[in-house]
């Protein structure tokens, strides 16, 4: 039995007309004799609407109930899409996370997939030709519904592709592939034909929401090729796969940005051994993702500690650290929500110097002030005032000639 896995995002299933277009994409492999697993997101805007309801109902909504609530978005789109397919005489059914089942840990709101029962899915595929699986959701060991974090349907799709050992997972979205930067923000952005897992991981973790980071981790771990392409055209998209020689020739392959960031500063922290662990261990226990960390040189045994967290995690971060104020021993906590990260990404950076200085010069020429800097082997990230995000992205895209796709010989 040959099984094709296709995932369609929120804009692709947002109304009847779009779902009809999705249906054409799904019927193609079906008519060629394949079984198809279709993974769907909620209709665009629905997850935000449901999260808004939770906030309206409660100041501190129970995370398990929030997951139970937001998972309904995918349930709606899957049931509706299965109805459309049935009308075409296709043997199909909708499959919710707990029915697949997609097993996860119990970290509500950002659960991680622990197992997928491949035999159950294959059993269903004996009876049905197309399974319409709800993305974004799973269930924990207690049978409670969990969700995988924003954009989590990508991860559902790749994990399902890995579980049934499909060679390719097709991710259909509202842009024709992965671009050198967000094509909706920079009209010069250019589609990339092939990108390595590692670069895609960096782009996703730095804010290129075209793929959720966990989906790329899964793809890399289980060697699933991901094809990102448009629901609304037939052109080939971007292949996310293992690194090859050609990829290394490119010094900078993309610019990513993330506006969902916040900067937290602890002022006058005692500069003693163990202080960093005292600050960051309790945050890690709450699964708060701390990224850039800067500690100033100490003066009179006191230092300032600055770091970034996702904006959604600001409240729990402040709550956790305020509780530990006397234990950690700091004077004041300040937070800034008006920041954004802009990152330059490229595997070729490993072997080339000068990328950082070129980026800093380009930003300086546009009077964009850099608040924090962090680097990895294949990435440079600058934290800036969020009102300069578009300017910074366009400036860096131009500085590295990304619209022309220049290679370093
Ligand atoms: P879906 O609903 O299909 O999952 P998303 O909105 O999650 O779609 O992701 C697609 C969006 O990602 C695009 O509309 C685009 O604005 C944004 N994006 C950000 N960076 C990039 C990039 N480098 N390449 C392509 N799209 C990007
Ligand atoms: N519906 C979820 C979200 O909006 C999951 C997804 O679209 O991938 O984040
Ligand atoms: Mg998405």
**Sheet containing strand 302-310, strands side by side:** 293-295, 302-310, 254-270, 332-345, 379-385, 372-376
The CA–CA distances, whole Å, from 138 to 6, 12, 91, 134, 401 equal 18, 22, 24, 9, 43
Please give the structure tokens belonging to residue 326. Answer: 């006397």
| Position in ligand 1 atom list of the atom nearest CA 185 | 16
Q: Ligand 1 centre from 322 Cα, in Å?
A: 36
Q: How crowded is residue 253: how many other Cβ atoms within 10 Å of its Cβ?
A: 26
Q: Ligand 3 centre from 216 Cα, in Å?
A: 13
Query: Which mutation among 9, 175, 393 tests ligand 1's pocket best, with the greatest number of atoms within 8 A of CB?
Result: 175
What is residue 344's DSSP assignment?
E
Closest by alpha carbon to 343, among 366, 359, 365?
359
**Separation of CA 389 from chain center:** 19
Closest by alpha carbon to 161, among 105, 241, 209, 225?
225
Nearest Cα residue to atom 25 of ligand 1 = 178
The set of residues, in sequence order, having a beta carbon less than 8 Å from that of 29 and lying 6+ positions away, is: 4, 6, 36
Three-state DSSP class for residue 312: helix
What is the value of pTM for the model shown? 0.91
Report the alpha-carbon distance of residue 336 to residue 358 in Å, rounded: 27
Question: 314-323 and 275-285 helices cross at what angle (nearest 10)?
Answer: 130
| C-beta of residue 41 within 8 angstroms of C-beta of residue 13 | yes
What local confidence, expressed as pLDDT, does residue 298 receive? 81
What local confidence, expressed as pLDDT, does residue 175 receive? 97
| Position in ligand 2 atom list of the atom nearest CA 148 | 5
What are the helix (H) ranges across 153-267? 153-163, 197-205, 213-222, 245-248
Burial class (CB in 10 A: 0-12, 13-18, 19+), 301: exposed
| Position in ligand 2 atom list of the atom nearest CA 212 | 8
Helix-, strand-, coil-residue percentages of the chain, each rounded to 5: 40, 25, 35
What local confidence, expressed as pLDDT, does residue 248 receive? 60
Ligand nearest to the CA of 173: 1
The set of residues, in sequence order, having a beta carbon less than 8 Å from that of 254 and lying 6+ positions away, is: 178, 179, 180, 181, 192, 195, 199, 203, 208, 344, 345, 346, 402
Q: Ligand 2 centre from 382 Cα, in Å?
A: 27
Q: Which residues pair with 334 in a beta bridge?
A: 265
What are the helix (H) ranges across 169-244? 197-205, 213-222
Three-state DSSP class for residue 124: helix
| Position in ligand 2 atom list of the atom nearest CA 10 | 7
Q: Ligand 2 centre from 214 Cα, in Å?
A: 13
Please give the structure tokens belonging to residue 376. Answer: 């990895």
Q: Name residues contacting ligand 1 (CB within 6 A).
A: 9-12, 41, 151, 173-175, 178-179, 181-184, 203, 208-210, 254
| Position in ligand 1 atom list of the atom nearest CA 203 | 23
Q: Across 99-214, where does the E strand assignment appear?
A: 102-104, 113-116, 130-134, 137-139, 145-147, 168-173, 194-196
Report the alpha-carbon distance of residue 392 to residue 388 in Å, rounded: 6
Q: Ligand 3 centre from 10 Cα, in Å?
A: 7
Q: Ligand 3 centre from 145 Cα, in Å?
A: 20
Peptide bond into 406 cis (omega under 30): no
What local confidence, expressed as pLDDT, does residue 244 receive? 83
Query: Which mutation among 11, 12, 173, 226 tests ligand 1's pocket best, with the greatest number of atoms within 8 A of CB?
Result: 173
Report the alpha-carbon distance of residue 368 to residue 359 in Å, rounded: 11
- Residue list, CB under 5 A from ion ligand 3: 9, 151
Report the alpha-carbon distance of residue 146 to residue 360 in Å, rounded: 42
**Strand 113-116 with 102-104, pairing:** antiparallel
Phi, psi angle pair for 315, to nearest 5°: -60, -55
Q: Ligand 1 centre from 394 Cα, in Å?
A: 17
Q: Name residues contacting ligand 2 (CB within 6 A).
A: 9-10, 41-42, 47, 73, 135-136, 150-154
Q: How crowded is residue 175: how many other Cβ atoms within 10 Å of its Cβ?
A: 21
Q: Ligand 1 centre from 240 Cα, in Å?
A: 15
**Helix (H) and strand (E) counts in the chain:** 14, 18
Per-residue pLDDT of the chain (409 residues; tens, 9 = 90+): 899 999 999 999 999 999 999 999 999 999 999 999 999 999 999 999 999 999 999 998 999 999 999 999 999 999 999 999 999 999 999 999 999 999 999 999 999 999 998 999 999 999 999 999 999 999 999 999 999 999 999 999 999 999 999 989 999 999 999 999 999 999 999 999 999 999 999 999 999 999 999 999 999 999 999 999 999 999 999 999 998 877 666 788 899 999 999 999 999 998 888 999 999 999 999 889 999 999 888 888 899 999 999 998 999 999 999 999 999 989 999 999 999 999 999 888 887 778 899 999 999 999 999 999 998 888 999 999 999 999 999 999 999 999 886 444 3
């Amino acid at each position: 039995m040959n099984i094709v896995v296709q995932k369609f995002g929120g804009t692709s299933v947002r109304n009847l007309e779009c779902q009809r277009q999705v249906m054409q994409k799904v019927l193609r492999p079906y008519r060629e004799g394949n079984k198809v697993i279709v993974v769907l997101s909620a209709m665009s805007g629905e997850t935000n609407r449901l999260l808004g309801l939770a906030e309206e109902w409660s100041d501190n909504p129970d995370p398990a109930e929030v997951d139970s609530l937001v998972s309904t978005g995918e349930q709606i789109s899957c049931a509706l899409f299965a109805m459309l397919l049935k009308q075409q005489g296709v043997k199909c059914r909708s499959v919710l996370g707990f029915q697949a089942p997609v097993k996860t840990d119990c970290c509500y709101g950002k659960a991680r997939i622990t197992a997928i029962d491949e035999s159950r899915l294959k059993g269903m595929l004996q009876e049905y030709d197309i399974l319409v699986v709800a993305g974004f959701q799973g269930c924990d060991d207690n049978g409670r519904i969990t969700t995988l974090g924003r954009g989590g349907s990508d991860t559902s799709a790749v994990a399902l592709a890995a579980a049934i050992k499909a060679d390719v997972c097709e991710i259909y979205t509202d842009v024709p592939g992965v671009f050198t930067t967000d094509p909706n923000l920079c009209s010069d952005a250019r589609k990339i034909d092939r990108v390595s897992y590692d670069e895609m991981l960096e782009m996703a973790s730095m804010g290129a929401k075209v793929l959720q980071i966990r989906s790329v981790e899964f793809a890399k771990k289980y060697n699933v090729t991901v094809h990102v392409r448009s629901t609304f055209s037939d052109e080939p998209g971007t292949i996310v796969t293992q690194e090859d020689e050609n990829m290394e020739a490119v010094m900078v392959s993309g610019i990513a940005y993330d506006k969902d960031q916040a900067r937290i500063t602890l002022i006058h922290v005692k500069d003693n051994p163990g202080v960093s662990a005292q600050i960051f261990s309790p945050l890690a226990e709450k699964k708060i993702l701390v990224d850039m960390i800067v500690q100033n040189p100490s003066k009179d045994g006191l230092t300032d500690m600055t770091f970034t967290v996702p904006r959604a995690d600001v409240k729990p971060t402040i709550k956790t650290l305020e509780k530990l104020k006397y234990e950690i021993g700091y004077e004041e906590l300040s937070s800034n929500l008006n920041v954004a990260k802009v990152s330059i990404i490229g595997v070729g950076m490993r072997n080339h110097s000068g990328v950082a200085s070129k980026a800093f010069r380009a930003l300086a020429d546009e009077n964009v002030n850099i608040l924090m800097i962090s680097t990895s082997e294949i990435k440079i990230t600058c934290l800036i005032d969020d009102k300069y995000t578009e300017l910074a992205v366009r400036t860096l895209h131009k500085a590295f000639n990304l619209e022309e796709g220049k290679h370093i010989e």
